[in-house]
Amino acid sequence: MKRNIEIPFVDLYPQYEELQSNIDNAIRGIIQKNDFITGPTVNKFEQAICKYTGAEDCAAMGSGTNALVCALKALGIDECDTVWTVGHTFVSTTEAIVNVGARPVFIDIDEYYHMDLEQIKDFNPECPPAAILFVDLYGQTPDIDKLKKFAKKYKIKLIEDAAQSFGSEYKGKKVGSLVDLTCFSFNPVKNLGAMGDAGAVTGSKKLIDRVRMYRDHGRKTKFQYETVGYNARIDNIQAVIIQEKLKKIDLWTKRKRKVCHRYTEELKNIVKTPLEAPWSYHTYYVYVIETPKGTRDKLQKFLTDRGIGTNIHYKNPTHTTKAFREYNWWPLPRTEYVCKNILSLPCYGTIQEHHQEYVIKAVRDFYGN
């Protein structure tokens, strides 16, 4: 059919327009000073993240995946260990566990798309996991107090994959200072995004010192190599870009939440719309609907034919993919069901009102409402 309109799934340019002069000047300053890696620029960025999140310390990283790997290494996770996680997330969560030599164990998810401890089967309290790597999927946290209580009982380390939840809150407290280590991604499409890859780990000074060591080839000083590490350093251009965007993150989040709440109000009687957990401030990395069984792919095509960009977060559960199938210990019915029926709609704070109305109408038309 002939398209009269094109609505992208994501549109990042308005963020740049809003801060263009500041970003351009910051990048120019890096180039003029030949200040490309580490040093005071990164230190200043890390301090800004600490101030915003309330974390004791922060290590800026080259990516969110780097953050996960170095966090696991800093906590001593290795080939002797198992780590509980979820199969409904981006693959890097599991990839990081396997890359440090540990074995992932997948746990099913609840109505908020978070790890559901009630679904754990055959748990032997004599052999608990070394760590739980939980995910703040789509922009809100699970019930962290519940996870901390369980972890404390069995002496389990907690790592928060907060790649999608920068700015989110748990019971009024910012994500970043709630568990042993928190890992952020600043991929361009994240609510706080770089113009390339970047990430960060927050936590205690003792643990972050270890993260920094693994980040920089395993060294404490220039020629003092303590262990085998990685080249996982952020570049300074990304650091200054993120720091400029950090000044706007609360405003941008409020705008995005307004868009999401409108979707929910208009579509809640047609599809299953996102639930906001009572303990969490949801920052909506993406807006995900759960379609009536068997209709997702047809709806996606219907929207595509009308110029509406969509995406699926995520189509294939990690534990069903070839790379990680050997770690699939038991069925995860909720995970497998949602991956067949979820769809992400265009969602950004600068979407034009009539464009959002067009998306809403298209979904209604598809379901005959």
Nearest alpha-carbon partner for 96 in 211, 207, 177, 173 = 211
What does the pLDDT average to over 129-150?
98
Distance CA 108, CA 335 (A): 6
- Greater confidence (82 vs 220) lies with 82
Reply yes or no on whether the pLDDT at 207 is more than 70. Answer: yes
pLDDT given for residue 196 in this prediction: 97
pLDDT given for residue 1 in this prediction: 55
Distance CA 310, CA 352 (A): 16
Reply yes or no on whether the pLDDT at 142 is more than 60. Answer: yes
Reply yes or no on whether the pLDDT at 203 is more than 70. Answer: yes
Place of tokens 């047609």: 270
Q: Which of 125-129, 131-135, 278-282 shows the lowest mean pLDDT across its residues?
A: 125-129
Reply yes or no on whether the pLDDT at 2 is more than 60. Answer: no
Residue spans of the domains in the chain: they are: 14-107+116-246, 249-366
Question: 155-193 pLDDT, tens per residue?
Answer: 999 999 999 999 999 999 999 999 999 999 999 999 999
Question: 22-36 pLDDT, tens per residue?
Answer: 999 999 999 999 999
What does the pLDDT average to over 332-336?
95
Place of tokens 């807006």: 287
pLDDT given for residue 369 in this prediction: 79
| Residue count (the chain) | 369
Nearest alpha-carbon partner for 72 in 47, 104, 44, 42 = 104
Distance CA 331, CA 299 (A): 27
pLDDT given for residue 221 in this prediction: 86
Output the average pLDDT for the chain.
96
> 330 pLDDT band (50/70/90 cuts)?
confident
Please provide the CATH number assigned to the domain covering 14-107+116-246.
3.40.640.10
The letter for the amino acid at 350 is: T
Pairing of strands 181-185, 157-161: parallel
Secondary structure element (H or E) that encloses residue 133, with its range = strand 131-135
> What are the structure tokens assigned to 358, written together?
């067009």
Distance CA 263, CA 68 (A): 32
Q: What percent of the chain has pLDDT over 90?
A: 92
pLDDT given for residue 122 in this prediction: 75
pLDDT given for residue 331 in this prediction: 80
Reply yes or no on whether the pLDDT at 263 is more than 70. Answer: yes
Distance CA 312, CA 121 (A): 28
Distance CA 31, CA 239 (A): 13
Residue 237: phi and psi, rounded to 5, are -65, -45
Question: 267-316 pLDDT, tens per residue?
Answer: 999 999 999 999 999 999 999 999 999 999 999 999 999 999 999 999 99
CATH class of 249-366: alpha beta
Nearest alpha-carbon partner for 270 in 341, 366, 138, 342 = 366
Reduced to 3 DSSP states, what percent helix, strand and coil does the chain have, rounded to the nearest 5? Answer: 40, 15, 40
Angle (CA) 332 267 15, round 5°: 90
pLDDT given for residue 3 in this prediction: 66
